[in-house]
Structure 1
Amino acid sequence: MIEVDVTDGIGVVRLAHGKVNALDLELCRAIEETLRDLDAGPARAVVLTGTGRAFSAGVDLARIVEGGAGYVDDYLPALTGAFRAVFEAGKPVVAAVNGHAIAGGCVLAAACDHRVMAAGTGTIGVPELYVGVPFPAVALEIMEYALGPVAARRAILDGRNHTAAEALAHGFVDELAEPGELLDRALAVAGRLATAVPADVLRHTKRQLRGDADDRREGEATTARLWRTAAADGRIEAFMARTVGSRRSSPGGSPPPAAG
């Protein structure tokens, strides 16, 4: 259902559930459990990808119809839990969108910090409204976070699935890669984020980015604490040595701008 490998300290989570990785109750619960465990464990970052021709084709509608109201009552909290586990992870999470990412599959990708999509025949979009069901609140939150309010509104009301080139143009993904290079590129981005940014700073900043105004105000004490830590533990000095020192040693180099 889910395959997890660790490459250079990065947890590669591969959805391997049926032909198109449809999001049923069991897969949603497995996604949440896996992402929460990786976020709490020693992995430096996470790459989320699929198998075959699909990243995920979204909600398993056949199970919804078959299970009826009782299944829905169990399913919606599990779906929300899967979305939140990806979205709330404090470590870098990079999507390697290997194929179709439709509806809930698109939301899962959008919940990641960076999205690399394979150039090819895969499509991505959020046609939930045209299925006749509303978005869970967290899905709307994620789409607005990923696309911005105007583009999210357009994508949600339009409901169209986009090619890889269109997805890049509209902001559904951050970059494209050849299919054979997709995973390597996602691992490279995840590794850079995990290495270049201190883990505590990244976790706090991700919370700020996805939080509302109250969350941001409550986080100011943490911001101050992390600045104090950075001032004392050498990370700012190391940054200055890499940038200021290298520019001063370059012939004709101009003074660098202040960072901060």
Structure 2
Amino acid sequence: MSTSPANPPCLVESRRHGDIVELHLARAPVNALDPALCGDLCDAIADAVAQQARGIVLSGGPKVFSAGLDVPHLLSLGDDRAALKAAWERFFAAARALVECPVPVVAAIAGHAPAGGCVLALCCDYRVMASGPYRIGLNETQVGLVAPEGIQRLMRRVVGPYRAERLLVAGEMIEAEQALAFGLVDELVGIDEVAQRARSWLEHLLRLPSEAMLRTRTIARADMVVAMQPELIQLDHFIDAWYDAGTQQALHALVASLRK
């Protein structure tokens, strides 16, 4: 008699702290964002809201919040454009779920946050990062990719147009102290205190009259919702660039360097 395969473990751990739910990325070793993790994040956000969470903390680590998209997995898809597009759509769905979340979300960045990890952080209301030699940024140009206009808008929103231009064009990853100085993150604390500080910030916010705070938040974040719409992501153009020979060479070189 055949048996159905066991359900795979959820890659996002949910931890309840009163009115706040911490969603902890749990795909070892570096929370690389494959379709399963992105799908679980979407589900976890929806579940937290359905269970009446008044605020969410998005955490990762240790020492890596999220290393960004799972490039080896994406490269393994080869010429299957439909599968590649589906994988990227799952990632952007997770980013939109954060942007459109009806309750505040704080990123607890206990380590590095390159590329897709930085995007997830930018989609949150507030960013608490570990102090120390940890880096954050959108390094797409270093592997021959162009950050979509919508993602660039998120970066411009927090650091200003000129600073965003410099960071985006160079694909620069900056350390925590500089990220704080630029406004890319809001606070630095010790690495073991990041999640607790994120909860404390939310607890303070949640003491405000709820309806006024949430309605004001919706108005203030409307530009983020617009930024994540498909017409500002232009995924087909992004995938065209993915298959460019130079980009493929840079991506394979990146994967080779990670295996050393």
Match of 2:157 among 119, 125, 145: 145
Do residues 135 (structure 1) and 129 (structure 2) align? no
Aligned to 2:235: none
Deviations 1:114-171 (A, max 9, x none): 1111112221111012222232444233223332333222221121111111110111
SS of match in other structure, 2:65: strand
Aligned to 2:21: 11
Change (3 A) 1:211 1:149: farther
Return structure 1 stretches of 4+ with deviation > 3 angstroms.
none
Whether the 8 Å contact between 2:107 and 2:198 is mirrored in structure 1 is yes
The count of residues paired between Structure 1 and Structure 2 equals 212
- More off after superposition, 129-138 vs 150-159: 129-138
**How is 1:140-219 mapped onto 2 (pairs within 5 angstroms)?**
140-196=152-208, 198-212=209-223
TM-score w.r.t. structure 1 length?
Answer: 0.76
TM-score w.r.t. structure 2 length?
Answer: 0.76
Determine the C-alpha separation between the residues in 2 that align with 1:141 and 1:30: 26
RMSD: 1.7
Q: Report the Cα offset of residue 175 of structure 1.
A: 0.8
Q: Report the Cα offset of residue 187 of structure 1.
A: 0.7
Determine the C-alpha separation between the residues in 2 that align with 1:70 and 1:18: 27
Determine the C-alpha separation between the residues in 2 that align with 1:26 and 1:15: 11
Do residues 36 (structure 1) and 52 (structure 2) align? no
| Aligned-pair identity (%) | 37
Determine the C-alpha separation between the residues in 1 that align with 2:62 and 2:129: 14
Determine the C-alpha separation between the residues in 2 that align with 1:51 and 1:106: 13
Q: Report the Cα offset of residue 26 of structure 1.
A: 0.9
Structure 1, unmatched stretches of 5+, are 216-260
Determine the C-alpha separation between the residues in 2 that align with 1:202 and 1:103: 30
Bigger relative contact order, structure 1 or 2 (CA pairs below 8 A, ≥6 apart): 2
Structure 2, unmatched stretches of 5+, are 1-10, 227-260
Do residues 96 (structure 1) and 98 (structure 2) align? no
Do residues 57 (structure 1) and 67 (structure 2) align? yes
Whether the 8 Å contact between 2:113 and 2:135 is mirrored in structure 1 is yes
Deviations 1:158-191 (A, max 9, x none): 2111111111011110010012222211110011
